[in-house]
Amino acid sequence: MPAEQVMIIALELQYAVETEEDSTDYAEVLINVHFNPKNRSN
């Protein structure tokens, strides 16, 4: 995985934690999207 993508994920997770009340669910979805390309259609 490219370092740029890792940084994007980290920034998105940081944003999620700062803005979302339920950041855990957001983080799970985000990680699934980035790490499981097959799930993008769901």
The answer to whether the beta carbons of residues 9 and 34 sit under 8 Å apart is yes
Which pLDDT belongs to residue 42? Answer: 44
Distance CA 27, CA 22 (A): 9
The mean pLDDT of the chain is: 75
CB 9 within 8 A of CB 27: no
Structure tokens at 12: 């998105």
pLDDT tens for each residue of 6-29: 888 888 888 877 776 666 777 788
Two tokens, residue 6: 């890792």
Residue 37 has pLDDT above 80, yes or no: no
Provide the whole-model pTM: 0.44
pLDDT of the residue at 41: 52
Q: What are the residue ranges spanned by the domains of the chain? A: 3-41
- Which structure tokens are listed for 34? 């980035």
